[in-house]
Amino acid sequence: MTARSPMALPAEIISHAVRSATGRSPLRRRRRFLSALIFVPAVLIGWLITVWGAAAAPPAPWTCGPADGPAPAYATSEWSHAGHGPVSDFGQGAYVRPSRIQHVPIYRLRVDDVLELVYRRTRDEVGQYRLNVGDRIRVESLADDKLNRELVIQPDGTITLPILEPVRAKGLTTVELKNKLEDLLKKYYKIPTVTVTPLQTDTKLIDVINTVDSRAGSGGQVRVARIVPDGTIALPAIGSVSAIGLTLDELKQELGNRYRQIDVDGIEVQPILQQRAPRFVFVLGEVRQPGRHVLEGPTTVIQAIALAGGITSSAAANLQQVVVLRRRQDWQMIATMVDLYGPIVKGRAACAAVNDLWTADSDIIIVPKTKILVLDEFIELIFTRGIYGVLPVQGVSLNFAKNSTL
């Protein structure tokens, strides 16, 4: 049986109704004419609704799937929390999906990252406390009231009592200082019986906390630091600390070790990444806004071209050879080409080919005008003859010539 198109069905129905209405009996002709007058408009209206519904139906999303046709528009999975219906890849809630994943598994600090360092007193037990410069103590003796007094450990680490030479107290516990004073006073008193009471300790810690105290300003015990070009940050009491290449947890451990080295215990410094160093991609060639553009998140080559305002009309012929230049960790320049003709010009890409890639910081993307025969010669033209005006001297200065013939 031959399949009939939807366009032919109304014509046949109308033709049959007209033939039936032209019979020989006048009464029969009148009845059939009235029936056709009611039936034919109804058929036409139903046919128009069918055709309009087919034309207005949303197209199925184009995906790389089986050869028998595109994937269905609606997935079988449901929202895990709401459960009110299936999830549509092209529905009104698609702008919040998919959930963003981490950009990198481990983030390592780099130059120009801005850190907020939060200082906190741990108040953890640290074992026997040893006196330090600036600590305040009270010395009392049952043998002589004139020995009773409050003392501050001097910068040279000593304290001074009547009839005694300066006594070194720094680095001693209160029990050790008590025994030392009693031994010295036995020359003058039969039973000196000295008591040493700490009145103010952790002086170095207090000084550090007071230095970073911002409660009268921005609030909290916080210090903001930017990683300078030599890869370090400067903090109170410990000076410059190398931070480049470290994770936040590694930097926290390093800061704790540095403070313990100068006898500052009972403090925790939590680094928080406040602002990342800017990342840039350089797009030049046949784009509308060539120059340096900021990478605020993971960006593909197509997205970088979109940041540059899209391609010019003369670039459409050679989007099959978009060049991406990148420097490796050893500062060696590498290059590759990507074919973007399908996704940009045709609106779709072949399933078997990878037509895009992620850009990295300081990548140079070149959209050429004509076909590239040898990639090495093309790169040589860029960096030696300055087709697009890239001059790698004293850094990289970029001039984008619109009158190039490449």
pLDDT at position 404, please?
Answer: 37
CA distance 148 to 142: 9
Amino acid at 205: L
Give the H/E segment covering residue 322.
Answer: strand 322-327
Region of poorest pLDDT, from 17-26, 184-193, 244-253, 296-305 = 17-26
Closest to 118 in 3D by CA, of 213, 222, 235, 265 = 222
| Res 335: pLDDT | 87
Amino acid occupying residue 198:
P
Q: Has residue 247 got a pLDDT over 90?
A: yes
Tell which residue, 258, 274, 155, 249, has the closest CA to residue 208: 258
Is the pTM of the predicted complex or chain greater than 0.75?
A: no
151 φ, ψ to 5°?
-130, 150
Residue the block writes with tokens 């420097």? 327
pLDDT band at 89 (very low <50, low <70, confident <90, very high): low
State the average pLDDT for the chain: 76
Contact in structure between 258 and 241 (CB atoms under 8 Å): yes
pLDDT at 100 over 70: no
Burial class for 205, CB neighbours closer than 10 Å (0-12, 13-18, 19+) = buried
The residues facing 59 across adjacent strands are none
Q: What is the rounded CA–CA span in Å between residue 333 and residue 324? A: 10
Cis peptide before 278 (omega within 30 of 0): no
